Structure 1
Amino acid sequence: MSLEIVLIGASLLLLLSIFASKVSDRFGVPALLLFLGVGMLAGSDGIGGIYFDDARVAQAVGSVALVLILFSGGLDTDWKQVRGVLREGLTLATLGVLLTAVVTGFFVHVLLGFSMVEGLLVGAIVSSTDAAAVFSVLRSKGIHLKGNLKPLLELESGCNDPMAIFLTTGLIQLLQSPALTPLNLVGQFFIQMLVGGAVGFLMSWVALFLIRRLKLGYEGLYPVLTLALAFFVFGLTNVMGGNGYLAVYLVGVFLSRHSFIHRQSLLNFHDGMAWLMQIAMFLTLGLLVFPTRLLAVSGVALVVALCLMLLARPLGVFISLLQFGVPWRDKLFISWVGLRGAVPIILATYPMLAGLPNADLIFNVVFFVVLTSVLLQGTTLPLAARWLSVDAPAVEKRRYPIKFTPMSGLKSELKELLVPEGSAMANQQVVDLGLPAEFLIVMIARGEDFLISSGGTKILEGDVCNGPQKLDTP
């Protein structure tokens, strides 16, 4: 097959996925489901007829994609909000994942007749959640969440993949080496997390230093620099025996807390890369599955999916958050938000590469569970939010004709100030307001219009004044 044909086919698949995202926005169907559907249609059992069964390639694509998705997710994290739910999020991402895996694993052990370790392996594979699918549905339906629900879900989803990956690889080791004991896994867990956390913390400072100090001559080189840093952190951490996914996510979160040159353009670039990686990953996984083989496992896989959604995930959430006083309505919603995504399907390729006896059955069951979770939970999330009264009125963020991007060394952020009715600021010129030296009004939003401010500009009731304000801390 010529290179031109390959490029045409790849571009058509990407275009179909992009068009599918419009369907997601319009009808609230999770984009993940549509991307997988495009891949399945293009596969050997679909109209595309592309034969693909290389689990190693699919795993490699998934690993590279996850690195960039987690790095982008870390960059986009609002640390001020996440900091308030740090304990709850980390508990959900560790203890919650473990409890979900154990309950699901025991159920699989009884239902499918697997050994206990094999059952736990299936439970570990499906134990992590997919935030991208959740927030695409909530965003397309205009659903906003009350309190700290959104940052809590963001933090959990960003941190729970390393735990699921560790449990999966550890249980495969137990199946391959009977001499190992669960105590060996406990030691490995702490080593991986500690090394991942340490490397992530140290490389965060290195990354920030390089971005601020290199002063590259071309803006287009900064995205190349951050890409190289993300892959280097992942590879270095894994070579040192740590969890590379955790380290990459920590670097992203650390950078999100600081100002640096071309910050907004880098955020936009990595957001685009995250979407490209999601599409590539879901298309590859869709190609890997043979839909005709899913029918044979549909009955038992549906029962496993219902156990995961209605029993295992809720137990993991309620027990994990027991000590934090989270309202029961929030716990129920968090339980229902446990959508499974691409990570479980990627993890389902691990038993295939390890040559385990039931690897094909495990992969097909996991794939069906993911499809069921996305279809049932993903399409009912807005309804669940309204039924549990955890949704909040949508606040439309004003879009300005220019963007304020903090630069390295300029410790300031854009602030908005609404001039209410009866305010002492109303009907005064900017020069007469006596503003502090660290606050400037550079633009005024008046209705649908925008005014560039000067000293003689008169402030009216209802105006929204905007300007960079000096930060107290970096």
Structure 2
Amino acid sequence: MLGLTVPLWTFTAEGAWTDGLVLAVVLALVVRPVVMAVLLSRMRMSTGERVFLAFTGLKGAVPVLLGSYIVSSQVADADRLYDIVFVVVVFSVVVQGSLVPTVARWCRVPTRSVELEPWALGVRLRDRPEGVARHVVAEGSPADGATVEELDIGEDTWISLVVREGRLLPVSGSTRLRTGDEVLLLTGDDEKTCAQLFTSHPT
């Protein structure tokens, strides 16, 4: 990849470090805040949220790719221009990227840590499939605390998947459901009838 073959020892000789850092600071502290102030002027946001959006907005692969077009087009000073782009990207990712949590606290923008979810099951279909239903077990519903075999889901319906707290459970007749479980059913019966099993009803 072109972005991995930048000769760092030529930066000082060609002035790429100085020009790149100056451009990066101007983009981060002047150009982007002014542009974002105009774009966000009609949106209902707090001052902290506006400042946070103006500071963030990391730039990486796309600028490097566009910079590679300069080199492939063989324009004047192509290598130096590409080096400047590289410096701007490094500044944006390393400096701005590392300061995002700190700026979020200063601006009182709530953030939270999210555990990695390396596994995902998903099927995308053109049309909504017949006989497939997804329900979440509600607290106090007939399914809450019941085993699969205790549910009156009919002979033509079976539970295909149960997901609990991001983990896939093996499904058998003795599998006991609880609040928050995501259940995928394959059914030939009325979907509304099955849905009532997973919905809490006022007493």
TM-score, normalised to structure 1, is 0.32
CA apart distance, 1:284? 2.3
SS at match of 1:333: helix
CA apart distance, 1:335? 2.4
- List alignment gaps of at least 5 residues for structure 2: 188-203
Is residue 2:181 matched to residue 1:464? yes
Task: Give the alignment of 1:91-170 within 5 angstroms.
Answer: none
SS at match of 2:169: strand
Are the aligned partners of 1:444 and 1:452 in contact in 2 as well (CA < 8 Å)? yes
- Aligned pair in 2 of structure 1 residues 396, 348: CA closer, same or farther (>3 Å)? closer
Question: Across the two proteins, how many residue pairs are aligned to each other?
Answer: 184
Are the aligned partners of 2:159 and 2:184 in contact in 1 as well (CA < 8 Å)? yes
CA apart distance, 1:433? 4.9
Task: Name the residue aligned to 2:109.
Answer: 390
- Aligned pair in 2 of structure 1 residues 396, 346: CA closer, same or farther (>3 Å)? closer
Structure (1 or 2) with the greater helix fraction:
1
Are the aligned partners of 1:441 and 1:465 in contact in 2 as well (CA < 8 Å)? no
Is residue 2:40 matched to residue 1:291? no
- Aligned pair in 2 of structure 1 residues 441, 390: CA closer, same or farther (>3 Å)? farther
Supply the AA of the counterpart residue of 2:3.
L
Give the Cα separation in 2 of the matches to 1:355 and 1:418: 62
| Structure number with larger C-alpha Rg | 2
Are the aligned partners of 1:442 and 1:453 in contact in 2 as well (CA < 8 Å)? no
SS at match of 2:159: coil
Task: Name the residue aligned to 1:305.
Answer: 24
Give the Cα separation in 2 of the matches to 1:293 and 1:331: 38
SS at match of 1:339: coil
- Residue 425 (structure 1) aligned to one of 143, 159, 177: 143
Give the Cα separation in 1 of the matches to 2:103 and 2:73: 39
- Residue 327 (structure 1) aligned to one of 46, 60, 65: 46
- List alignment gaps of at least 5 residues for structure 1: 1-282
Are the aligned partners of 1:446 and 1:463 in contact in 2 as well (CA < 8 Å)? yes
Are the aligned partners of 1:333 and 1:384 in contact in 2 as well (CA < 8 Å)? yes
Task: Give the alignment of 1:413-452 within 5 angstroms.
Answer: 415=134, 417-420=136-139, 422-430=140-148, 433=151, 441-445=159-163, 450-452=169-171
Are the aligned partners of 2:56 and 2:100 in contact in 1 as well (CA < 8 Å)? yes
Supply the AA of the counterpart residue of 1:425.
A
Give the Cα separation in 1 of the matches to 2:129 and 2:18: 58
Structure (1 or 2) with the greater strand fraction:
2
CA apart distance, 1:344? 1.9
TM-score, normalised to structure 2, is 0.65
CA apart distance, 1:371? 1.6
CA apart distance, 1:307? 0.6
Task: Name the residue aligned to 2:194.
Answer: none
Supply the AA of the counterpart residue of 1:331.
R
Are the aligned partners of 1:446 and 1:462 in contact in 2 as well (CA < 8 Å)? no
Are the aligned partners of 2:2 and 2:68 in contact in 1 as well (CA < 8 Å)? no
SS at match of 2:42: helix
- Aligned pair in 2 of structure 1 residues 468, 389: CA closer, same or farther (>3 Å)? farther
CA RMSD of aligned residues (A): 4.1
CA apart distance, 1:306? 0.5
Percent identity of equivalent pairs: 24
Are the aligned partners of 1:423 and 1:461 in contact in 2 as well (CA < 8 Å)? no
- Aligned pair in 2 of structure 1 residues 328, 411: CA closer, same or farther (>3 Å)? farther
Task: Name the residue aligned to 2:199.
Answer: none
SS at match of 1:441: strand
Supply the AA of the counterpart residue of 1:466.
V
Supply the AA of the counterpart residue of 1:464.
D
Is residue 2:55 matched to residue 1:371? no
Supply the AA of the counterpart residue of 1:426.
D
- Aligned pair in 2 of structure 1 residues 414, 379: CA closer, same or farther (>3 Å)? farther
Deviations 1:219-269 (A, max 9, x none): xxxxxxxxxxxxxxxxxxxxxxxxxxxxxxxxxxxxxxxxxxxxxxxxxxx
Task: Name the residue aligned to 1:12.
Answer: none
CA apart distance, 1:321? 2.0
Supply the AA of the counterpart residue of 2:22.
V
CA apart distance, 1:348? 2.7
CA apart distance, 1:319? 0.9
- Aligned pair in 2 of structure 1 residues 345, 451: CA closer, same or farther (>3 Å)? closer
- Aligned pair in 2 of structure 1 residues 344, 393: CA closer, same or farther (>3 Å)? closer
